[in-house]
Structures are given as structure tokens and as C-alpha cells.
Structure 1
């Protein structure tokens, strides 16, 4: 496969254009100063946060403030839609990384999830009107906001909990007089209705005793109706936008409800209509940068593999001795189904075995993903070995036909050189990410999926997980190229088939879960809301994996480079986006 300079230029252009667009929206074309801050809170735990300060705000001209807190296994950038719109309306916005998330100190869940530290810090800023501070939190960020409100009952004026609830996971129970002036934004298709409000169907929260107690009524709570009195601090309102739990971050209605509530309960903001929103252009910008990075992958691999240091591992794939006819369709069905049907049961094995966060495996969700990947890899490797021994060996298949050796045979040197090439490819992509962060203060992301730089601690954590992920992708590569690849396929067809094989199972899983929810019920497996949402991230991850696998195998003729690139990329993406549960 040859190097294509046009693809390289297109990818770079998308990264630059996307980064510039995202930066302009994030800063309101320079009218909002966006910076990062770090501050120590309880027990010396250091919080990392993004601070938005509108133009004209000063010690002499203080503005109202809003603390906007993200949910579990997210970071402050997830709240950027809310933060951008609040800042456009003259509010100083502090968007912290919760403890153990992003670049804040671990462990996760410490210090009331970090909300009380953030509120305390906000109240120290001389350019913030301490009598006009709002709290906004999504999911676990809602609990964080509620805990902050309970610790400092006179430190805020109003609160918005999005996809969240009172009386859950350490958050105090709501009463007719506490918290002060609260808006509940709970979507019609929120996956966490059972956890948050104790009902299977999200729209049924209007009849729960917990919500009725908060709203001081014996009747069904009426969405959109104002209960209580704003001046007395007892105001309550329920909004139910027609989106999912993570969909709040991509909903003009969900964000608009928060804008409207703070406009009604805080003083000093600019009267900009709630429907006047621009945050989605920032989301488009970071998506363009993400697409640009993905487009660059073929050019980076082919450019490096033909460079002097790696020219010796350039090779042509062997003619495959793979499945054909009905056997191919059976093999494809097993390939698609195995990782999906094992996702929920395998990810729970680490908990069943009693594993807890440790210095070696400090991220619980990443550990669960790793256990699933290793389990799938073992089962797949056994099935592949049986197929080889019982059937394909008789056809003369060798390690070369499976991409495990090159024309000269198998050697450890081949693996080491492939690892060197993989490190070089990932290094180039990572350098572009760092350059984007430096130039535009944005990264590569869309919605719940993000590529962001690793902190020093996260880099050390990634070393604990990278080997199992590389082994998993090696098994996947052998199956793709040694069992399912067909010799007559063009590059485009092979790329398309690999993408379908890697992605379609998760699409079917999401349809299986969400169709009943969107029809007015609950998810098919209602006990797995978190991992259903996590499954969305497999779509971009496996799209990237399909491109890497196809290009790297065509360029080298072996499975190792593609497996190592995918292992390194996925480990970095997952570790940077997950919560760290062990306190180093």
C-alpha cells in the first residue's frame, strides 16, 4: 500500500480547521477567557478545573458564578456545552474534574466527588459575586452538587441536577425546603431511572415518593410547572427533554432548561434567550479534528513503514487459506457475536473474584474492560486453534498464512521491529494531539468519546494495561486476516468488511437495549445502564481498529504492527477517559 500525500493534507487540514473552530466557540471569539486552574481541597486533594471568565468581569465588576460538574467516567470537557452557554450569558463558570477523573487527584469518590472543594474555590474568587452562585451537575455530578449544597447551605442560590437525583450514593435526601431552588432535568429516556428514582420507566419518576417529597406535593409532579417560591428558596421544577442520559450533553433542550433556570434564580446574567445556543459548533470542531486524526492513520502508517528504520518489515500478505462459502458466514457470525454476548458477563468477573483497585490495576472500569478482552481473546484463540488443527492444517496452512510470520519465517526480531513501528505511528498521532491541545486548548472528541493527553500518572497506569490489550488485538488480527480475509478483496472492500465485522455487533447490542426504551419501556437488560452507555465508545474504537488492521496488514504482511498500534491507542484512550479508584 502506497503513501498518499492528499490524505495526509486532508487529515491535517481537518485537525487545524476543527481545532480553530472549537477554540473560537469555546472562547466566544475571544470574549471569554478560558484557562485551567488547580487548587487543593480537603485532605490536600488537588482538583484540576477549567475556568471560564467573560470579558469585562473583574474584582470591581464581579459576575454571578456557576459550578458545572460532569458525571462518572467523564471529565470537565464533557460539560463544555453547558459551560460555553453559561459563560456567553455573563456567568463565571468553573468546570472541575471530579476527584479521580481527568487530571484531578485520585481516588474517585473522595471529598464528596470534589463538588464541595470546587464550590469553596469558586467562593474565593474576588471577581465572582458570592451571593449569586449556582450549581449544575450531570449524573454523579448532580450528587456532587448536592453534597456541596449540604456542606455549604448558604454558599449557593440555586441548583440544577441533570440525569441525577437526591438521596442516592451519598447525596442527601431532598425535602420541601432543601436544596435551595432546584431544577430536576431528567430525560424521558434516561437509562438510570431505576438507580436514581427507583422506577424502570424514566417518565414514571413523576409519581415517585422521593420526587413528590422534594416538590412538596401529594400528586403527580407536573413537568414544566413551577412549585414553591424562588424568593423563599423553595422553588422546584421538573424538565423531561426527549433524550437519553448521555444525550443531555447533545441536547439544546436539556442545556436550555439549565440556562432558563439560572436566568430565573440568579441575578446579573445577560438576558440571552435560552434557545440561542452555539455550543454544538464546538462539538463539530472537535469532531472534525477527531476525523482528521483518523484520516491520517493510513498516511502515517504507510509513510513510516517505507522509511529507512522500518523498511525491512515491509511485506506482502500471504495468499490466505481462510474460510469460504457457508463456513465463512459461520465464522463471521461467531466473530461478531462472541465479544458482544460476553460483554456484560465477562466484565463482571473481576468484581466476582473480589478484585479491588490497587496500584497495579487502579481503574475499576479499565480492569473490567481488560478482563473482558482477555476472556474473549482466550475463547477466540481456542476456537481458532481447534479450527486450525482439525481442518486448516490439512490444507497446508502455516503461521505465514495467519500473518504470524513473514516470508523469512517467524522471529522475535520481527515482533520487536513491529513494536517499534507501532510506537512511531502512535508517537506521530500523539504529537498531533499535543499540538492541538497547545494551539487551540481542545482535543479530539465527540460526545462520550475522547482522545486526550495522558497525565504522568495515567501514563504509568497505562503500562499496567497495555500488554493484555495488545494480546487481545493480536488474536483479533489473526482471526480477521487468517480466517476471514479473502484474497480477491480490494483494499476498500477489505476495509469495509473489517469495519462491519468489528462494529456491527455493538450496533445490534445498542438496538437490543434501546428499542424497548424508546418505545416507552425500559432497556431490555435494565440492570446494565452504565455498560450500555460504555458500549457506544466501542463504535469509534473499533472503527479506528478496522482502519489500523487493514492498512498495517497490507503494508507489512503480518499482524503485529496493527495489533500493537491498536493496543497502544485503545489503552491510552481508555485510561485517559476513566476514573482512577486507587489513591496513589
Structure 2
């Protein structure tokens, strides 16, 4: 695997390219392009790319325009205004780049995408695929090039037979040359499209054949894997028919137009073949070919459907939206589809020299586990570094004299603040998430100054609500309870220290983050890996991302300063420190954890839609809230001031935010936009 950059209409697109060892320009290998969903980078789909690459596919895993270190070009490749949410955002350009690779078999190219990536690859597939069958194309050549007039019944007949009937001998020679051109064009269209957690953006439309209008499906093999507990099923992905309640009924009915099953639901795990209709208002028809688990593309009927680019299959999984790219089942389904649709698995399927790997054989989770362990070790390294550097004279001033905790288990105020923090945490999940993916109830909206929406701004909004409620309650209680005054708390937390000591804490935090970033560069250079677990990740930043990191650090600093105060005022003189850290961590994360349990417990118990869609972007809170809580307390125990923990967590979370997101608005393609991010 190598990381590469290529031009996309004046902007740089970044991608991962997976190729088999020893590949040369003499090879002709099937290729697949993958796009992540909105608000994500290609890192989330690396596992799927890895599994496809293990089976010998060339895989291009792409950051769309504005995602990761990809730039926003001045012109969108869909002909829309730059940065339009539903545009292909560079998918068409990436497809054309894939076609330039000499070792790619131009007749076996597939596209895949998760969520918005599915919509964008679907848009690219629709723009690229022929809506005409090969016979339709040849019929149009007869009418357009040779002036043959056909009646309506003849447009469904074999074009070669009609050519022999109506053309002269000299015309037949020209027709055969045109046929070769049309066959090459038809065969080099995208052959397969697979959508993970995405809706049917590739649908039938009206075309003209022989002068008559008919309805045609795109000539492309199509597959879906949909989670039954996908939060988006009732929002952006599918619009359920009236009276339909369960997600199973809704998804299988909403996909009926793609599978041409009329008013009947689609049967999961079954291969379908769609056949064209020839009346003006006649929709294409379909039939079941057989069970996906029992059939192979070596089966003549399935092979014919795939060769005709008319095969369809739906896989259903018991998972949520963001789980799709962190799922063995979804990876297996993706591999299963492309092995059949592109007829390849460690070699040509019909070849005795092939070395196929079963689609159930996956190893990408091992890499993910190693990435997570590396991330935890990076956190530990930062804490060890802080301890070591505070022994140095330059940073010794960051350490204050230890004071006895002023809180205790008997302090009613602590439990009141904790209870309100938890309740507001649960409420904020529902309030911000609402029932749609728009997250209209964010306190902060994306702008050119803060271009990354989704996870960063919904997370920040949640933290504002929770910390704000906790701080307000603490202040009110402190004004009432004279035994633990605000002045006493401020002194205990080491807030009112000299400005020079605050600046030393800031410098020490910056050095810690720089060392963490340096460790990432080392594992990136040595192993081409990064720090990640699911929705939490730390990646290499371009200059634009680095500038955005600074701005998001400014946003995060007051949030984590307040959080550090709340976490460390909870330190108790009559409770063991280890127990107290666990307690404060649980209180901090309880709101989002309880909301998750309620939301998904309800979905699993009822098979109905979610209470909130907040978790599409907020799973990272379940990891990062405990991590930042522990970092805040351990650094406070070392320095007896909240400043070092607040600075460190702000920079750390800002690094995470700019690593996992794409731009929610068009930031422009100027030099300022490219290097400063706005």
C-alpha cells in the first residue's frame, strides 16, 4: 500500500493505493475505488480496502474533496457549485485516475462507498454507466447512423439480426466496426457498485431507443449492505412508506425500485436479475437467481446476470450506521459482492492457478487492535513525559504545593452536581441529535474559521451543555454552602497562579503534543499506520489541517478548562484516589453512555427507528471523555493545577477533531484556503 496525491481540477486529492506485490504494466487486474462517508476520512474504510487487496484487487481508497488532507478544488466534478453536499466531491476524478493505471483491467472496475460515500460513488456510477444495454446502443446506431426506421416491436429484437435484414453488404462492414467501438465503450463502464449504509442513488430513468422512449436501469451490478439498527434509516437514507414501522420492512420495501420487485419487499441475501421492459411505461422486471451463500459466479445463470450488468443483491446486518466500517460482517459482504461481480479472488475464478481466500477470512481487526494499543501507549507516553519534564528546572514552576482535597463523600453538593451533569448529558444527546442528520440544535455551526462540522461541533456542543450545567450548579451550591467557597475552590484548583506559570504549562503541553505527533510520524514511516479506534483517531496533518488544529484548540480550551475544574474539584479526602478517578470518569461519561444504552436498547427491543441520530458522529465520546478525564486528573495530581491538563486535553481533542472530519462547507481554493484552511 502506498499513499499518493493526484490533481483533481486544480485541487490535490489524497488516497491510499493497494496493489499486489510484483504487479507490472503487463497485468490486467480488477480494481475498486472506495469512498468514506461524510465527516470521515479514508482511514475508516482502510479495513475494507485491506480485505479486498488481500484477494488481489487493485484498491483506491480516496479522501473526497475537503476530507483528510485533500483540498477543495475551484470546480466541482459534478458540475455543481463547489462543496455541494450531495455532489460527487471528487469521486469522478478519482475514478478517472484509477483508469490511468496500466495494470487495471478497464472492463472490471467497481465502486464502493459508505453513507455519503455511497451516494457520491453512486453519482459517479450513474454518470459513468450506460443506461443502454449493448443491444440498445447498436439499435441506436442502426437508426442514427444508417437511417433505419424501426417499429416499436423491433427495438426489442437482436440488433445484429436487424442489421443483416436492413443493411447492405458495405454498410455491414461499417456496422461491424461501429459494433466493436460500442462493445469497447459498454464493457469499459463501471461494472459494479456497492453501497454500505447508503440509499439507492442509482435508479432507473427514461431513455430513447430507436426513436421510442423506454425505461432503463443503469447497466451496472448493484449491491447493498444495510444495518437494521442504522440510525439514518428513517432520515437521510430511506423514507419509509406510510404504515411501515420496523426497519426490516422499511429497508426491504424502499429498495424495491432498485431490485424492480414492484410492491414486494426485497429478499435479503438473494441474487436478483433485472430484465428491461420495452413498453413506454413498462418498468424493468426482475427474478430471483438464488441465494448468495449457495451460488458462485461460476453458476451459469448468475454469471449471465453479472455479465449483463443486471445483478442485484442486498445484505442485512444487525449493526448501526457507523458500525458498517468497523464490522467484520460488512467487510465480508463487500468482499463477497466484488468477488462475484468482478469474478476474481486471488486470480481468475475459473483458473486452476487462482489462490482464493474465503470472504469469511478477515484479518483487518488485528490491525485495528494494534492501532488502538499504539494509541493508548501514546497517551501513556504523554503522561510519562509530563512527569519527567516537570523535574526539569524550566518547568518546575508548573508544580504548586499540594493541598488537601476540600471535597468529601459527605458533600451533598458533589452528588447534586454529578446528578445534574449526568441528566443534562443524557438530555443533550437527544437535543443535539434530534431526529435528523442535520443536527440543527448544535450550539456552534460550521464556518470558514471552523470548517469541520459533524463530530467536532456536535461534540463541542455536548460538552458545552454538560460542563455548563455542572459549572452553573457548582457555583450556585458554593454560594449557598459557605463551607466550600468559590475562592477556596479556585485556590485549590491552582487557577489563580502567575501568568508566567500558566505560559509554562502551555509550553509543556505543546511539547507533549509535539512528541505525540512525532511518535505518529515514526509509526507512519515505519509501518504506514496511525492511532485509531473506530471513530477516534489521530492522523498526520497538512498545513491547512495544522492551522485548523490551532483554531479548534482555541475552541476546546475553555471547554476542557471547565471540565478540568469539575473533574478535579471532585477529588476527595476520604476516598481512595484510584476509586475516585473511576467515579469521576463514570460521572463524566455517564450521560452519553446512558443515552447510548437507551437509544440502542430501544432499537434492538422494538426494531423501530432510533430515538436520536446523535451517535452517528459521537461514538468517539465514549472513549475520549474517559481518556481526557484521566489525563486531567493525573496531570492535576502532578502539578496541583488544572492548567496543564486543560491545555493538553484541548490540543489533543483538537488533533482528533481535525483528523476524523471533512469540511462541512466550501472553504475555497485560494492559497490562503489551502495553507491556512479558510
Global fold match (TM > 0.5):
yes
Partner of 1:338: 424
- 2:64/2:70 contact within 8 Å kept: yes
Q: What is the DSSP-based 3-state SS (H/G/I as helix, E as strand, rest coil) of the residue aligned with 1:100?
A: coil
- 2:192/2:338 contact within 8 Å kept: yes
Partner of 1:506: 592
Q: How much does 1:128 deviate? A: 0.6
- 2:28/2:104 contact within 8 Å kept: yes
Partner of 1:156: 190
- 1:357/1:582 contact within 8 Å kept: no
Structure ranking higher in helix proportion: 1
1: distance between equivalents of 2:203 and 2:90?
Answer: 15
Match of 1:420 among 493, 501, 507: 507
Partner of 1:489: 575
Partner of 1:197: 238
Cα RMSD between the aligned structures?
Answer: 2.5
Partner of 2:146: none
Match of 2:3 among 20, 27, 36: 36
The correspondence of residues 372-391 of structure 1 with structure 2, limited to 5 A, is: 372-391=462-481
- 1:350/1:371 contact within 8 Å kept: no
**Number of matched residues?**
539
Q: What is the DSSP-based 3-state SS (H/G/I as helix, E as strand, rest coil) of the residue aligned with 2:195?
A: strand
Unpaired runs of at least 5, structure 2: 73-82, 130-187, 206-214, 274-304, 347-355, 669-678
- 2:425/2:466 contact within 8 Å kept: yes
The correspondence of residues 51-70 of structure 1 with structure 2, limited to 5 A, is: 51-70=17-36
Within the alignment, does 1:285 sit opposite 2:261 as a pair?
A: no
1: distance between equivalents of 2:561 and 2:480?
Answer: 22
Partner of 2:259: 215
Match of 1:540 among 623, 626, 629: 623
- 2:382/2:513 contact within 8 Å kept: no
Partner of 2:659: 576
| 1:119-143 Cα distance to aligned partner (Å, 9 max, x none) | 1111111111111111111111111
**TM-score normalised per structure 2:** 0.75
Partner of 2:383: 298
| 1:297-345 Cα distance to aligned partner (Å, 9 max, x none) | 3312211222222112223442233364243322221233334422453
Farther-moved stretch of structure 1 (344-353 vs 125-134): 344-353
Q: Decide which structure has the larger Cα Rg and report it.
A: 2
Within the alignment, does 1:253 sit opposite 2:329 as a pair?
A: yes
* Shift in CA distance, 297/500, structure 1 to aligned 2, threshold 3 Å: farther
**TM-score normalised per structure 1:** 0.86
Within the alignment, does 1:138 sit opposite 2:82 as a pair?
A: no
Q: What is the DSSP-based 3-state SS (H/G/I as helix, E as strand, rest coil) of the residue aligned with 1:166?
A: coil
Unpaired runs of at least 5, structure 1: 1-33
Match of 2:494 among 404, 423, 440: 404
Farther-moved stretch of structure 1 (322-331 vs 134-143): 322-331
Q: How much does 1:204 deviate? A: 1.7
* Shift in CA distance, 344/307, structure 1 to aligned 2, threshold 3 Å: farther
Q: What is the DSSP-based 3-state SS (H/G/I as helix, E as strand, rest coil) of the residue aligned with 2:359?
A: coil
Partner of 1:446: 533
Q: How much does 1:173 deviate? A: 6.2
Match of 1:98 among 64, 71, 88: 64
Partner of 2:140: none
Higher relative contact order (CA closer than 8 Å, sequence separation 6+) = 1
